Chain A
Amino acid sequence: GENVEQHPSTLSVQEGDSAVIKCTYSDSASNYFPWYKQELGKRPQLIIDIRSNVGEKKDQRIAVTLNKTAKHFSLHITETQPEDSAVYFCAANGNQFYFGTGTSLTVIP
């Protein structure tokens, strides 16, 4: 089955700086890669996703890039704000969804 690895597990940045979270996957058949944000005690919520037929997708301060050859995809958050502090999960679809282990992002005011 699919194996999704996510790095780093924790990340601290100054407000206004950029944050990058990286994930790798193993199944070349995976074709959908979502990113979820989970605030403490809350449900994960989709913030951006990308399909395998595109290499990059952007939504305001958030962007995701996908390298199918290398089997990795990354989340980029620019101009970080304190409300970006949360745990972020990547995922890839196989016959089910496979999630990374999460990155706890702290934005320091």
Chain B
Amino acid sequence: DGGITQSPKYLFRKEGQNVTLSCEQNLNHDAMYWYRQDPGQGLRLIYYSQIVNDFQKGDIAEGYSVSREKKESFPLTVTSAQKNPTAFYLCASADWGTAYEQYFGPGTRLTVT
């Protein structure tokens, strides 16, 4: 299970609090992604970054923010503006220039009450 890690595995927060999810990779991949997965649904893209210090919004970016200060790290902040933050969050990385294959982290299950 090495290569891309997410922490913590489970996270509980009170409504109105911001929370940051960690994603780290040692695969030397340029591209990194954040997805949200709700029960019985597919993967919806929140943000992605193809190079350090640059990132783009995905389909559901509202209420989320990211940074990409280092190639290895792509943290996601779930802000209090996100209306339904409870979900399973998956981070992924890819060698976009050549292989395309996405490697996923183990995920963080966020529960906001």
Listed in ascending order, the chain A residues whose CB lies under 8 Å from chain B are 6, 32, 34, 36, 41-46, 49, 89, 91, 93, 96-97, 99-102, 104
Q: Is the interface of B mostly helix, strand, loop or mixed?
A: strand
In the bound complex, do residue B107 and residue A102 qualify as a contact, i.e. CB atoms below 8 Å apart? no
Asked whether, in the complex, the Cβ of A32 is within 8 Å of the Cβ of B100, the reply is yes
Contact B104 A45 (CB under 8 A): yes
Interface pair B42/A44, CB less than 8 Å apart: no
B101 pairs with A97, CB closer than 8 A: no
Q: Which residues of B contact A (CB under 8 A)?
A: 33, 35, 40-43, 45, 48, 56, 58, 90, 94, 100-107
C-alpha spacing A8/B61, complex, angstroms: 28
CB distance A46 to B102 under 8 Å?
Answer: yes
User: With contacts A44-B43, A89-B42 known, is A97 near B104, CB below 8 A?
Assistant: no
Can you add 15 more A-B contacts, CB < 8 Å, to A32-B100, A42-B107, A100-B42? A43-B105, A43-B107, A44-B43, A44-B90, A45-B104, A49-B100, A49-B101, A89-B42, A89-B43, A91-B102, A96-B45, A97-B102, A99-B35, A101-B41, A104-B40
**5 closest Cβ pairs, A-B complex:** A101-B42, A43-B104, A99-B43, A32-B100, A102-B42
Measured in the bound complex, the distance between the Cα atoms of B94 and A35 in whole Å is 15
